[in-house]
Amino acid sequence: MLAKRIIPCLDVKDGMTVKGTNFVNLRQAGDPVELAIRYCKEGADELVFLDITASHEERKTFTDLVKRIAENINIPFTIGGGINELSDVDRLLSAGADKVSLNSIAIRNPKIIEEIAKNFGSQVCVCAIDANFEDGAWNCYTSGGRIKSDKELFSWAKEVENLGAGEILFTSMSHDGVKTGYANEALCQLSESLNIPIIASGGAGSMEHFRDVFTQGKADAALAASVFHFGEIDIKDLKDYLRKENINVR
């Protein structure tokens, strides 16, 4: 039976993870590769690395980091941030990334999804959607949640699927960082209206929230950052808990 996936997300700036961790025993607490290896050992199913600097001169450093990640971990990983054209995708996949995640560029130039699917296959193309619930509707945002677009979540998600995206990574801006659970109602509606996997993001604060995002939100995978980085939830404990709740995990 296909397992539900648990995906830690690491924000990377200048070659280091930005959000602090209280992990001990790491030679360099902020080294993304060391953290990634640790998550692999604990049972993470995939990893996402977000390049949150993405300025031109820092790209090369980040590409070198992607190479180091690929050499050191034995599970799939996705790279997001700083992808503006097809050559960026080629550069990251050549460095060893399994998938790339697009956000602002997909809204500005939806054709890029089609081009990625055609050139590299749908399976490498994760489309990230940041949306906020306001005035009775889910509005999509670009530029890290700063600029409101004219896209509505459910119609945009359908469009993205039709263009050839392999997965959707949906972050509810209303839930992100609040730690009161994922946006399960919207997730459920997305999951039931689309035929590609949905990765839920934003809102994880407890193990019960992970259970609910799979049972109520019908998500295929759940992404979280701080609860893992700060050691509030151990991935191995989380999986033991989910197994007891009859959720199929690896």
Catalytic residues: 11, 130
Q: Is 164 in the site for other proteins (CB under 8 A)?
A: no
Q: For 99, phi and psi rounded to 5 degrees?
A: -145, 160
Specify the stretch interacting with other proteins by CB under 8 A; choose among 21-29, 68-76, 208-216, 231-239.
68-76
Q: Closest distance between other proteins and the C-beta of residue 95, in Å?
A: 8
Distance of CA 93 to the CA centre of its chain: 17
Q: What is the 3-state secondary structure (H, E, C) of 80-102?
A: ECCCCCHHHHHHHHHCCCCEEEE
Task: Provide the token pair at 93.
Answer: 């996949």
Q: Is 87 in the site for other proteins (CB under 8 A)?
A: no
Distance CA 219, CA 231 (A): 23
Q: Is 121 in the site for other proteins (CB under 8 A)?
A: yes
Q: Closest distance between other proteins and the C-beta of residue 52, in Å?
A: 25
Distance CA 39, CA 103 (A): 25
Q: Is 96 in the site for other proteins (CB under 8 A)?
A: yes
Q: Closest distance between other proteins and the C-beta of residue 134, in Å?
A: 28
Closest CA to 100 of 17, 169, 16, 195: 169
> Mask 224-243, x = binds other proteins (CB under 8 A)?
--------------------
Can you tell me which of 9, 10, 12, 40 binds other proteins, judged by CB under 8 A? Answer: 40
Q: For 133, phi and psi rounded to 5 degrees?
A: -90, 115
For binding to other proteins (CB under 8 A), which residues are involved?
A: 1-3, 5, 40, 45, 70-72, 74-76, 93-94, 96, 98, 120-124, 166-167, 191-192, 194-197, 220-221, 250
